[in-house]
Amino acid sequence: MFMPKFYVHIIAILCVAIWGETFVSTKVLLSAGLFPADAYFYRFAIAYISLLCICHKKLFADSLKDEILIAISGVLSGSLYFLCENFALIHAQAADVSIVISTCPIFTSLLLALFYKSERLSVRQNIGLLMAFVGLAIVVMNGKYVLHISALGYSLAFAASFSWGLYSLIMKGILPRYSTWFLNRKAFFYGLITILPYFAFVKPLNTKLVILIQPPVYGNLIYLGVVGSMLCYVTWSWAMQQIGIVKSSIYLYLNPIFTVFFAIIVLHERITLLAFLGLFILLLGMYWAEKK
């Protein structure tokens, strides 16, 4: 499907905006009594069932190698990523975790440059990536924010970020050969399968019904599964096909910005002049990172 690049960039930004809000929704689930692995399982189960209703004709990849790569991508973007992220949210505030996880573009760019010569960045682009991250931190701190994150939370958030970078590396190789609907349906499936050992050997899936029937819980689960997972993952894969993995990953820097934005709208928090300066540095860094 042809679409002007400008609109592809806008759609990618909208996708990141939704992901920025999902930190808040996930925090609501954890605060309501759901365990991190349980929240992930219900979210991906809803996403997989929803996607299966739309895309169900093709069952397997064209080769065993591709099937294995898709399975690995499901682990990296699913069970491993969300377990690390959700457990990090247990040990730290959502804004703290979002800052660390927003190193995704750096890991993605480094890994792609390591394995693909065509994806190597210029000095200007590397400076842009670092500027964007510095600007991001300034905005989220908002002139008064102090980063409070435990060593465990810090490590888990970084693990999630690196996991997403590896996922992007694998997607670079298989995206051209399959539809985004098929790839994400398979990834959701393997993401669900690989969480089962955790339930078998660490902590069983045993969420109390009284928790699940609470409107904020099932409402956020449906939102996270259908919108935050199914629609956003398919859309994000499509955006990577259209504008490239490196350029699309740069927009992940906006993730915490939208988290802060929703906090301002909902919680009426004030933004400082220093935060506006950080936003300028972030946008300038993103511009530099996109230009050769």
Spatial CA neighbour of 245 closest among 112, 133, 130, 156: 112
User: Could you tell me if residue 143 is left (phi over 0), alpha (psi between -120 and 50 degrees) or otherwise beta?
Assistant: left
pLDDT tens digits in sequence order for the chain, 292 residues long: 556 788 898 999 999 999 888 877 888 898 899 988 899 999 999 999 999 999 988 999 999 999 999 999 999 998 899 889 888 878 777 666 777 777 788 888 888 888 887 677 677 777 777 777 777 677 666 555 555 556 787 788 889 989 999 999 999 889 989 999 999 999 999 999 999 999 999 889 988 889 999 999 999 999 999 999 999 999 999 999 898 888 888 888 787 777 767 666 655 556 566 666 776 776 677 666 666 5
Q: What are the structure tokens assigned to 206, written together?
A: 């045993």
Cα–Cα dist 17/102, whole Å? 13
Residue 248's alpha-carbon distances to 137, 201, 244, in angstroms, are 20, 37, 6
Spatial CA neighbour of 147 closest among 210, 99, 203, 87: 99
Say what the pLDDT of residue 72 is. Answer: 96
139 near 275, Cβ under 8 Å?
yes
Spatial CA neighbour of 182 closest among 43, 73, 79, 104: 73
Counting beta carbons within 10 angstroms of the beta carbon of residue 23, is it exposed (0 to 12), middle (13 to 18) or buried (19 or more)?
buried
> With the CA atoms of 21, 27, 32 and 38 taken in that order, what torsion angle do they form, in degrees rounded to the nearest 10?
100
224 near 162, Cβ under 8 Å?
no
**What backbone torsions phi and psi does residue 62 show, to the nearest 5 degrees?**
-75, -15
Quote the number of domains for the chain.
1
Q: Which residues contact 206 (CB under 8 A, 6 or more apart)?
A: none
The range of the structural domain enclosing residue 79 comes to 5-290
**What backbone torsions phi and psi does residue 268 show, to the nearest 5 degrees?**
60, 35
